[in-house]
Chain A
Amino acid sequence: MIAKLGASARHLLGHDPAGRNLRTYPDDTFIVSYPKSGNTWTRFLVASLIHNEAPMTFLKADKVIPSIDSQSRKYFKSLPRPRVIKSHFPFDQNYKRVIYIVRDPKDVAVSQYHYQIKRKVLQDGHPIDEWIARYVAGDTCPYGSWGENVASWLAARRQNPDFLLLRYEDMIRQTGLELIKIARFFGIDPTPERIQWAISQSTADRMRKLEQKEAGQWESTKDTRKDKFFVRNAKAGEGKATLSPAAIAQIEAAWGPLMRWLGYETAAVSRAHSTEQERGFLEAVLEQPAR
């Protein structure tokens, strides 16, 4: 009862985290992804693209592109429109303009595993193969499984002009080109200076240095182990290189068709990549094995 009273009082004052109760506007843009898919990096890029007057930091990025699960409803109300908001939720019909970032679920797995060690959810050396089974079932994260999260958004919105799908791997490989798409999505003129500035603010090296300074204050790193880092590998392909064949097989058994539709390599299937590309999203998802 006391806890409920506290929660109700926070709600009354608008101090509760917004979550699904956020009041949205049609001109809001949401940066959505499954966790550990490059959302923080994208926020850095977008925040420095929009606010190109001063250097970007974790704390500033958190203020200008707040996370729906950490800032209060009151804070969201005080933000000037049009707002840019970060979220990890599966499909939410109230988000009318969405940039959705996907990343190879093998790499997401490795990243999430290490982040859980940093957050002391897992201990050092926890057997990753056992953990992968829970990851595939969607039990390691409050936003559904990777496949559910990705499929829910693609199923509902992939044809919508207000939905921009980005692959983390493309952003790594050709940051400038992908950032130009983002700029156009925001109606920002992608001049070379502006794109270059945003990229320079968001390099992995710069973000690693900033993390050392800000880790104690930033929402996602305070109260976590300081000997492990939030900005870690910042590369593509770690899953393939480090996961066991059994772990990779579990991931591909669960989401193989969806992964191939997104252009991610899978080992288990002989079907030519190009054939897969010609098939529809829905067919691909429906080919997924029964679970």
Chain B
Amino acid sequence: MNYHLELMIKKLLGADIAERNFAIFPDDTFLVSYPRSGNTWTRFLIANLVYPNVDVSFKNIERLIPDTSSQSSRALRRTPRPRIIKTHEYFDHRCRKIICIVRDPRDVVLSYHQFQRKYRHIEDGYPLVKYVDDFVSGRLNSKDWGTWGENVASWFYTRGKSKDFLLLRYEDMMEDPVRELARTATFLGIDSDPARIEQAVQRSSADRMRELEKTQSADWVATKNHRTDIPFVRVAMSGGWKEKLPAECVAQIEAAWGETMVVLGYELVTPTLPEQAHQIGAKLTAASRAKQEVR
């Protein structure tokens, strides 16, 4: 009852966390991704692009590109339109204009493992193999984002072909951030002047973000009151899984989401999988029909 009373007062004041319960406008753009897929970096890139005269930092990022999981419905209402809103939510049909960031789930899981240690969602010695199993089966101690496969697929296969949908791969952004930010600028209808893009990329570099995190971690809602010995801005690289992720974990992830990974351009390495992955659709169709016949 106390919890509900508190929630009621918060709702009255508009101080409740927005999550999926806030008013959406037709000119909103949503920056969607599964957690640990480069969303914060992209927020900095876009904020620096859109507001070239603002010193973008962890102190003001929530005002510039608010996060639905930490900001109140009132804060979102007060964000000047057209808004760019960050979210990790799975498909929400009310959102029209979408920038969707995806990252290789084999890297996502490594990053998430560290992140959940930082947040003390898991103990330091929590075995990676067990963590990967939780990650694949949807048993993480985190908010309701669904599994990586559910979350990514729910956006990509409903909206992937829409002209109001821009897919950014974290790996492509690492390879050529200027190129990818220029695409984003065009999508947002912003002048993609090379100097402006270049400046935004430099102001959002991993080194600069690490420096900002050192001095501002107490000022940012996502890092304050969390342990500081594990940084939020981590290795900022792709392909770390090739060295750090045990083969059995790689196989488990590829078996679960191989089809979607292939469609997104992530090459599978499990020996028995690659060929299968390309025929997987056919087999699944046949199998699911057969299974239903049997039932």
Contacts and interface: CB of A to CB of B under 8 A. Distances in A.
Contacts of A138: 93
B5 interface: yes
Interface in A102-160: 138, 143-145, 147-149, 151-152, 154-159
Given A94-B144, A155-B153, A156-B149, A278 B93 contact: no
A270 B147 CA distance: 37
B158 interface: yes
Given A165-B288, A280-B285, A90 B157 contact: no
Interface string B275-295: 000001110111010001001
A268 interface: no
A283 B281 contact: yes
Contacts of B250: none
B145 A8 contact: no
Interface string B137-155: 0100000111101110110
A148 B158 contact: yes
Interface in A1-23: 4-5, 7-9, 11-12, 14, 20-21
A102 B158 CA distance: 16
B12 to A, nearest CB: 5
B-side interface mostly:
helix
A63 interface: no
Contacts of A180: 295
B259 A145 contact: no
B7 interface: yes
A259 to B, nearest CB: 14
Interface in B133-190: 138, 144-147, 149-151, 153-154, 156-163
A93 B144 contact: yes
Interface residues of A, number: 50
Contact of A93 (B146, B159, B161, B286): B146
Nearest to B257: A159
Given A155-B156, A156-B154, A145 B11 contact: no
B97 to A, nearest CB: 13
A155 B163 contact: no
Given A20-B20, A151-B157, A181-B292, A93 B145 contact: yes
Interface string A165-209: 100000000000000110011000000000000000000000000
Given A93-B145, A93-B150, A8 B157 contact: no
B264 to A, nearest CB: 10
A290 B163 contact: yes
B44 interface: no
A2 B206 CA distance: 48
A165 B12 CA distance: 41
Nearest to A289: B161
A9 B8 contact: yes
Contacts of A278: 282, 285-286
Residue with the greatest number of chain A CB neighbours at <10 A, chosen from B12, B92, B158, B281 = B158
B4 interface: yes
B161 A159 contact: no
Contacts of B156: 155
B161 A279 contact: no
B184 to A, nearest CB: 18
Contact of B90 (A91, A185, A286): A91
Residue from B93, B161, B263, B282 having most chain A Cβ neighbours under 10 A: B93
A288 interface: yes
A59 interface: no
B41 interface: no
A59 to B, nearest CB: 29
B91 interface: yes
Given A11-B4, A155-B154, A165 B292 contact: yes
A281 B20 CA distance: 28
A145 B263 CA distance: 24
Q: Which of A9, A20, A151 has the most CB of B within 10 A?
A: A151
A286 to B, nearest CB: 7
Interface string A73-94: 0000000000000000011011
Given A4-B11, A157-B150, A286-B263, A279 B285 contact: yes
A234 interface: no
A283 B144 CA distance: 28
A233 B170 CA distance: 50
B223 interface: no
A151 B158 contact: yes
A154 B285 CA distance: 11
A149 B162 CA distance: 15
A277 interface: yes
**Which 4 A/B pairs are nearest by Cβ-Cβ distance?**
A280-B281, A144-B93, A93-B146, A155-B153
13 contacts: A4-B11, A147-B158, A148-B158, A151-B157, A155-B156, A156-B90, A156-B149, A156-B150, A159-B284, A164-B292, A165-B288, A280-B280, A282-B259
